[in-house]
Amino acid sequence: MSEPELKKLFPGKHISLVARGKWEFVTRNTNRPAVGIVAITDDEKVVLVEQARPATNATLIELPAGLAGDVAGAEQEPLVEAAKRELLEETGYTAERWTELVSGYSSPGLTDELIVLFLAEGLKKVNAGGGDGSENIVVHEVPVNAVLAWLAQRGSKADMKLLAGLYVAMQMRSSE
């Protein structure tokens, strides 16, 4: 495709509105991927986080997730290290086995955000989780085969990266 120059329309503190040709989109100022973690306990439950999301003006249920390189001094941390850090911080779990599931775009008409999803297994709860100082996270553990029914029962809208991660994890496990 043709590659018109990237034009900065408005630089926010964390994200910026930009355009390539006439196409407007949003980009993170860090220019690093997001990570999400499909963490499955030994008794086949997936670990989910519930937190307030100002963009949606509601509390949402999501995969544990975060940004690579958003800790000062560790801007170039490997993605799996970011995933380990976010899983521990948000849920209090460490994992023995880490497998990369898939890299995908969250909304390619709107943003260049790339999310890399990991499968975490062999989980061990080492603290209560809950997020860093600015977060106020509630941890849920839901039978991995009952996530859709559980969300529907709560009347919760879904998190697309959660459903995408479950799809890839289930496909990978069924082919083993």
Q: Which residues bind a second copy (CB under 8 A)?
A: 1, 3-4, 9-10, 12-17, 19-21, 23-28, 34, 52-60, 62, 65, 102-115, 148, 157-168, 170-171
Nearer residue to a second copy within complex by CB, 94 or 150: 150
148 CB-near residues (< 8 Å, 6+ apart): none
**For 69, which DSSP code?**
T
Nearer residue to a second copy within complex by CB, 3 or 96: 3
Nearest approach, Cβ of residue 90 and a second copy (Å): 13
Nearer residue to a second copy within complex by CB, 88 or 160: 160
Nearest approach, Cβ of residue 109 and a second copy (Å): 7
Nearest approach, Cβ of residue 106 and a second copy (Å): 4
In 12-156, the DSSP E strands lie at: 15-20, 23-28, 34-39, 45-53, 58-62, 65-67, 93-105, 114-125, 138-143
Nearer residue to a second copy within complex by CB, 20 or 125: 20
d(CA 49, CA 43): 18
Asked if residue 113 lies in contact with residue 15, where contact means CB atoms within 8 angstroms, the answer is no
Nearest approach, Cβ of residue 112 and a second copy (Å): 5
Asked if residue 115 lies in contact with residue 34, where contact means CB atoms within 8 angstroms, the answer is yes
